[in-house]
A and B are shown apart, each in its own frame.
Chain A
Amino acid sequence: MAEAIVAEHVTKDFVLRRHKTFKKMTVAKMRGEQTVDRFNAVDDVSFTIQQGESVGLMGLNGSGKSTLLKLVSGVMKPNKGTLLTRGRIAGLIATGAGFQNQLSGMENIYLNAAIYGLSEKETKAVLDEIIDFADIGQFIDQPVGTYSSGMSSRLGFAIAVHVDCDIFLADEILAVGDKPFKRKCLAKMQEIRESGRTIVYVSHAAGSVQKMCDRVICLEKGRLVFDGDVDEGIRFLHYEDEDDGDELAADDAELGADV
């Protein structure tokens, strides 16, 4: 078996500008204040994911999950460390897909598929399946800007799962979308998993992570704090002992049980 994703001491920092105008910056410089802040969204993270593994990426909001996913997908580059991947990568980052709002759903399918590296012929071959899966009816010919958030993530997910990829990234896909669609997504993800492709799955739903993944990586403030068994990882995050979250937990359990 070969590695699919190798991260070694990966760090990504963000620059926060404190002062937005020339005037404010000059004043700050004269007073000897700092004009920029840096913080590490992903901080010295190392892991290796083997081909065919299905890894759940967990952590609180702002812990760096989406940034790490952007680094894996190639949207962002690490400042320090190296991150290597094998093969074609497809998937959703931060719920929505990268769509052009003025373009119709159909045009966006072609554009996104081309960005993933599909040719026109390859796109046409899976076009019907994508439209079928997204199941948004006549809206496929309307500008994506008019879509509801559910509709655009349906379309984004439909495109991503039909790209013949080696690594599949899924970020909070279950945050939007109705129950039948969630069920359909999870079933499709299982199919991808069984086909031997590598999956990195970001979710807060412990139940679906249990169903879907064979390993969990937890981030906290950008640092890797846990890497290992799924149940242990969920326990590590104390996701299961929230007494005020009965309703949430029930919903989550149901979601897991559905699949």
Chain B
Amino acid sequence: MTEVATASATSGTALPPLAAPSSNLGLVSVFKRRYLLKLLVQREISARYERSFLGFLWSYINPLTQFFIYWYIMGIVMGAHATIQNYPVHVFSGLIIVHFFTETFGSGTASIMRNKSLVQKMPLPQEMFPVAAMLVSLWHVLPQLAILLVVCILTGWHPDMGTLIGGLLSVAILMMLGTALALIFSVANVFWRDFGSLVGILNNFVRFGCTMIYSYDQLSQHAGSLQPVVLGNPIAVACLLFQRAFWALSTDHPHHVLKTEFPPHLYRQGLEALAASLVILLFAQWFFSKFQARIPEQF
């Protein structure tokens, strides 16, 4: 609509059509207006840790402190170093991808409330805000990934095609699922702040529901009937894919590890998780569109 409007305002010839001023195509219009999205992402990056002395470093302090807690408590006190090969990389590779999701979920849920001054007065697709929150979290993954790569190379990493395919598949699953949940919770949070509080609890389940501090092998030995529940979770599948890409190939016996520490049809599960995330995303868009009209009047 805006392109048409520009043309008429400048040339003064062909009239733009009559249209509903509030019409928007949801996520499609978000990606049509990439320049605005870019501005919002840049703004988010600078605003997320606004007025904080350490600034963006908080994005690393959070996962790093978690890493040291798991490394010490689980690795040394509980003895995971002895049972899981190259345990720090096992934890760290899982943590990066899981933290990407939890950060997206957390900041995405708060995104509309945080931007209420814009939402109240400016017409823009409100899906912009959760999507921008997801992209900011994705941006924060990059330096962590650089650290992981260095550690992997130091511990004898031999990447294969699965690294690329599995890594990308894993990120794609969480981009979609993270955006979907951020969409649903951001709009729900406008009506009832309870949903913002719920995110912290759900994120805790996510952290412990993935094979991050424990291994797949341990899960299959001890989880019993709970195992399908854990592996039915797209986030856990994404975590396994990411660990296959980095951790498994940095161990001393990758072939053995690939056989024992991963489910037999990991890539198929990955594709299923991707499909499930897409379905959830479509549902999220429907949910968002249904309640979005009432957002501006809630503040």
- B6, B16, B119: most-surrounded residue (chain A CB, <10 A): B6
Query: Which of the segments B19-27, B77-85, B199-207, B217-225 contacts the partner chain?
Result: B19-27
Interface CB pairs A-B, < 8 A, 30:
A14-B297, A71-B21, A73-B21, A73-B123, A75-B120, A75-B296, A76-B293, A76-B296, A77-B20, A77-B293, A82-B20, A84-B18, A84-B19, A85-B21, A86-B16, A87-B16, A88-B5, A88-B16, A94-B121, A96-B121, A97-B122, A98-B120, A99-B118, A103-B43, A107-B43, A114-B35, A117-B33, A164-B10, A165-B9, A166-B9
Asked whether A149 is an interface residue with its Cβ less than 8 Å from the other chain, the reply is no
Chain A contacts with B in 117-155, Cβ cutoff 8 A: 117, 119-120, 122
Q: Mark each residue of chain B from 44 to 74: 1 if its CB lies under 8 Å from any CB of chain A, else 0.
A: 0001001000000000000000000000000
Contacts of A102 in B (CB 8 A): 47, 50
Is B121 a contact partner of A88 (Cβ separation < 8 A)?
no
Is B18 a contact partner of A3 (Cβ separation < 8 A)?
yes
Asked whether A226 is an interface residue with its Cβ less than 8 Å from the other chain, the reply is no
Contacts of B9 in A (CB 8 A): 87-88, 164-166
Q: Please pick, from B17, B294, B297, the residue contacting A86 in the complex, using a CB distance under 8 A.
A: B17
B298 to nearest A CB, angstroms? 9
Interface size on A, residues (CB 8 A): 46
Asked whether A110 is an interface residue with its Cβ less than 8 Å from the other chain, the reply is yes
Is A117 a contact partner of B5 (Cβ separation < 8 A)?
yes
Is B39 a contact partner of A77 (Cβ separation < 8 A)?
no
Contacts of B297 in A (CB 8 A): 14-15, 76
Is A117 a contact partner of B16 (Cβ separation < 8 A)?
no
Report the separation of the CA atoms of residues A120 and B8 in the bound assembly, to the nearest whole angstrom. 19
Interface magnitude class on chain B: 35 or more
Given A76-B296, A110-B39, A164-B9, A84-B122 contact (CB < 8 Å): no
Is B35 a contact partner of A75 (Cβ separation < 8 A)?
no
Given contacts A75-B122, A83-B21, 13 further A-B contacts (CB under 8 A): A3-B18, A74-B20, A84-B21, A87-B15, A97-B122, A98-B120, A99-B117, A103-B43, A111-B40, A114-B36, A115-B118, A115-B123, A166-B16
Contacts of B21 in A (CB 8 A): 71-74, 83-85, 89
B224 to nearest A CB, angstroms? 36
Asked whether A54 is an interface residue with its Cβ less than 8 Å from the other chain, the reply is no
A85 to nearest B CB, angstroms? 5
- Those 8 A-B pairs whose CB atoms lie nearest each other, nearest first: A117-B2, A74-B21, A98-B121, A88-B5, A74-B123, A98-B122, A74-B22, A84-B18
Given A77-B22, A87-B5, A119-B35 contact (CB < 8 Å): yes
Is A114 a contact partner of B39 (Cβ separation < 8 A)?
yes
- B17, B122, B293: most-surrounded residue (chain A CB, <10 A): B122
Report the separation of the CA atoms of residues A184 and B293 in the bound assembly, to the nearest whole angstrom. 36
A117 to nearest B CB, angstroms? 3
Asked whether A93 is an interface residue with its Cβ less than 8 Å from the other chain, the reply is yes
Asked whether A101 is an interface residue with its Cβ less than 8 Å from the other chain, the reply is yes
Contacts of A86 in B (CB 8 A): 15-19
Is B35 a contact partner of A120 (Cβ separation < 8 A)?
yes
A254 to nearest B CB, angstroms? 30
Report the separation of the CA atoms of residues A97 and B120 in the bound assembly, to the nearest whole angstrom. 10
Asked whether B276 is an interface residue with its Cβ less than 8 Å from the other chain, the reply is no
- In this complex, what residue of B is CB-closest to A83? B20
- In this complex, what residue of A is CB-closest to B37? A114
Q: Mark each residue of chain B from 105 to 147: 1 if its CB lies under 8 Å from any CB of chain A, else 0.
A: 0000000000101111111100000000000000000000000
Is A101 a contact partner of B117 (Cβ separation < 8 A)?
yes
Report the separation of the CA atoms of residues A107 and B50 in the bound assembly, to the nearest whole angstrom. 15
Asked whether A2 is an interface residue with its Cβ less than 8 Å from the other chain, the reply is yes
Chain A contacts with B in 56-88, Cβ cutoff 8 A: 70-77, 79, 82-88
Contacts of B293 in A (CB 8 A): 76-77, 79
